[in-house]
A and B are shown apart, each in its own frame.
Chain A
Amino acid sequence: MSTASENFTSGYAAAEPQTGAVKLTMILSGAVFALMMVLGLAMRAAQSQWIGLDPDLFYQILTAHGAGMVGTAALSGAAIMWYFCGRYLVLGAAIFWAFLGLFLLGVALILGAIFIGGYGGAWTFLFPLPALSGGAWEASAAAAFMLGYTVIGVGFLLYYLELGRRIHARYGSLARALGWNLILGREDNDPPPPAIVAAAAVTIFNSIGIILGAAVLAASLVHLLVPGFEVDALLAKNLIYFFGHVFINASIYMAVTAVYEILPEYTGRPWTSNRVFAIAWNAVLIFVMAVYWHHLLQDVAMPPWMLVVGQLVSYFSGIPLIAVTAFSTFLYVRGSKMTWDLASALLVLSVAGWSVGSIPASIDGMISVNKVMHNTMWVPGHFHTYLLLGEVAMAFGFMAWLVRGRTIARMGGLDRAAFATYLAGAAGFVTVFLFSGAASIPRRWAVHYEEWLAHDRIGTLFSLLVVLGTLIIVLRFAARLRRSQG
């Protein structure tokens, strides 16, 4: 088995010219994931009354944690997809460096806005909250925060422009790269591989998301400078949630290319695009843009048909995920004789976590349930499931694969301990959130009532395990990276 895998890998080695840039991005992502998890732990510990945090500081940390996690998920997802698209396309290295540079500049602006300027308006910057801080921060801090987002958005647009351009050049059109020939049953002697289908879809929907995000950022920035310039708050909220929902989903849809490209090395069965796969991705392209309405089910001023579509799409988007991606993963794993190392274990876990997390999400997407679950701890419960056990697990699996040995070996003791700690911590942590949501505990509260402390304390202990598991995985990656390059 290991010989076959070696051949499989070395066949691509020549076509992976930007490995250095991707490795650097992954070590940065790993470090920031760990740091943001420590901030999450601090918030849970403060709610537990085990440490004292001023509410001002708590909400600054909340803002940093949200923006930092979403940004890092997107950064690591983008690095993974760039790496694997590099197997099929010639991608300009300068574009990736510009993307990374703009990303880091944006991060500096955002961190400065929060921890120097005191900005604590949440990563969602709901209009007109950034301009109305109640004395907690100046308009300049809010402006720096939004400029940071804008700079990161420009970086991502560059990234997608390059991908889209190269996909077009290689496959003739984005439609062909989306597998339309497969869907229509036309003959195609050069069908797009799964990573390219994913890249084409994400390029389209995330570019649209970022452009609408830029529109609301620009309007909010003008409002900060000229307070008389008003934006309709509901329209702004629509734009923000469109952008935010598409952007965070894109991070998982980019990272899943690691599953498509790496698992075949372990199973010896190539993951090829077929008709069902192409239909699923085209459905994702539509669903990902229509589903954000489920964030607005409490906004009864919205036209009711939009809320109905929000509920329907939030359920039906589970079908391409569970019946296609998750089901294919079962089929690839069963009888594959695969070797379980840290990379393969994390990647299989990531598809499971992503699918499992979609269940409480679509249940919350029912209007009648949403009335008692929305903006309780239930919501962080579901998105932490598909981020912590989905996107982050994909990123960690990819990192473990990048620095694997020459032959695939079974998991050693330390890897087993890291995997078990991370899985136990994350599973327990998100389950506590779901129980807290069912107990009506509101989200984003710096100070908790006595009745809620048991939830907070158990959650804190599990988040400690998550941090510990993450530290082992990231430090192990750093150590092996040094060894493999030294």
Chain B
Amino acid sequence: MQPVVLLISLVLMAALSAAFWLAARAAHGPAPGPGANGKRTGLIWAMTILGVLVSAGSLRQWPHALAAPGDALEVNVSGGQWWWDIDTTEIPAGTPVLFNVTTEDVTHGMGIYDSNLTLLTQVQAIPGYTTRITYTFEEPGSYRILCMEFCGVAHHDMVNEFEVVAGEE
């Protein structure tokens, strides 16, 4: 997902930068004609319609998928300054996993990384709450949990690992 997000962002950012650059270059050209205000109205409508479409598309299915299917494996993760504790160290591939995330002290962020150090999903660990996310691991291998929310002087040391093993067919 990340490369697509980066590409879309860079293309849009470059297009908007180019529009400004062209306007600056046209400072000594002709002034905008009488149709300029109509163009502004068009732009407002275009942005509104695009926003409605993208919002509807991206929210139609709730992105956090909190209601885990009945066969989900529950894994409890708790964090503290400065450690992660995972109660299941071997997770089967292909099975939906429901993570129950808690913290013993301050706010932390649980980010799950694959062996290529790509972030797969994350959720905050908030004092006094159990936060839940579901994720299905497709590939066996070793995965890491990194802390994503600044939590004090050993924030970067807050790392733990678990294994995903080939699931029973």
Among B51, B113, B155, find the residue whose CB has the most chain A CB atoms closer than 10 A: B155
When C-beta atoms are compared, the residue in chain B nearest to A54 turns out to be B153
A371 touches B63 (CB 8 A): yes
Question: Which B residues are CB-close (under 8 A) to A412?
Answer: none
| Number of residues on chain B facing chain A (CB within 8 A) | 74
A128 touches B127 (CB 8 A): yes
Question: Which B residues are CB-close (under 8 A) to A112?
Answer: none
B 116-153 binary contact with A (CB < 8 Å = 1; else 0): 01111111101111011100000000000011111111
Give complex CA distance A337, B26 in Å: 9
B59 touches A308 (CB 8 A): yes
Give complex CA distance A1, B110 in Å: 59
A368 at the interface (CB under 8 A from B): yes
Q: Given B54, B113, B152, B157, which contacts A59 in the complex, CB threshold below 8 Å?
A: B152
Identify which of A8-16, A25-33, A80-88, A118-126 touches chain B.
Answer: A118-126
Q: Given A134, A298, A308, A348, which contacts B152 in the complex, CB threshold below 8 Å?
A: A134
Task: Count contacts between A and B, CB distance < 8 Å.
Answer: 219
Q: Given B2, B12, B58, B106, which contacts A440 in the complex, CB threshold below 8 Å?
A: B2
Task: Place the interface of chain A in its size category.
Answer: 35 or more
Beyond A121-B152, A232-B128, A352-B20, whether A335 also contacts B27 by CB under 8 A is: yes
Identify which of A323-331, A391-399, A475-483 touches chain B.
Answer: A323-331
Q: Given B1, B32, B146, which contacts A335 in the complex, CB threshold below 8 Å?
A: B32
Question: Which B residues are CB-close (under 8 A) to A312?
Answer: 51, 55
B117 touches A311 (CB 8 A): no
B 1-36 binary contact with A (CB < 8 Å = 1; else 0): 111011011101100110110011011111110001
Identify which of B40-48, B71-79, B161-169 touches chain A.
Answer: B40-48
Beyond A298-B123, A434-B6, whether A449 also contacts B117 by CB under 8 A is: yes
Give complex CA distance A363, B48 in Å: 15
B121 touches A434 (CB 8 A): no
Chain B residues touching A, majority SS: mixed
Question: Which A residues are CB-close (under 8 A) to B156?
Answer: 55, 445-447
B128 touches A233 (CB 8 A): yes
Within 8 A of B (CB), among A345-366: 348, 351-352, 355-356, 359-360, 363, 366
A315 touches B153 (CB 8 A): no
B66 touches A372 (CB 8 A): no
B122 touches A374 (CB 8 A): yes
Give complex CA distance A371, B47 in Å: 24
B95 at the interface (CB under 8 A from A): no
Minimum distance in angstroms from A453 CB to a CB of chain B:
13
A336 touches B27 (CB 8 A): yes
When C-beta atoms are compared, the residue in chain A nearest to B111 turns out to be A442
A5 at the interface (CB under 8 A from B): no
B59 touches A300 (CB 8 A): no
Question: Which A residues are CB-close (under 8 A) to B124?
Answer: 298-300
Minimum distance in angstroms from A318 CB to a CB of chain B:
7
A435 at the interface (CB under 8 A from B): yes
A-B contact pairs, 29 of them (CB 8 A): A126-B107, A128-B127, A129-B107, A232-B128, A233-B129, A234-B126, A234-B129, A319-B44, A323-B40, A323-B43, A330-B20, A333-B24, A334-B32, A335-B27, A336-B31, A337-B28, A352-B16, A368-B58, A373-B5, A375-B149, A434-B10, A438-B2, A438-B6, A440-B2, A440-B117, A440-B118, A442-B119, A444-B150, A447-B157
For the A-B complex with A233-B128, A439-B117 known, give 20 more contacts whose Cβ atoms are closer than 8 Å. A56-B153, A120-B153, A126-B150, A129-B106, A129-B151, A133-B153, A233-B129, A300-B124, A300-B133, A319-B48, A323-B44, A329-B23, A330-B23, A335-B27, A335-B32, A359-B13, A369-B5, A372-B2, A373-B5, A375-B111
- Across chains A and B, which 10 residue pairs bring their CB atoms closest together, nearest first? A335-B31, A438-B6, A440-B119, A352-B20, A368-B63, A375-B148, A233-B127, A367-B63, A445-B156, A330-B23
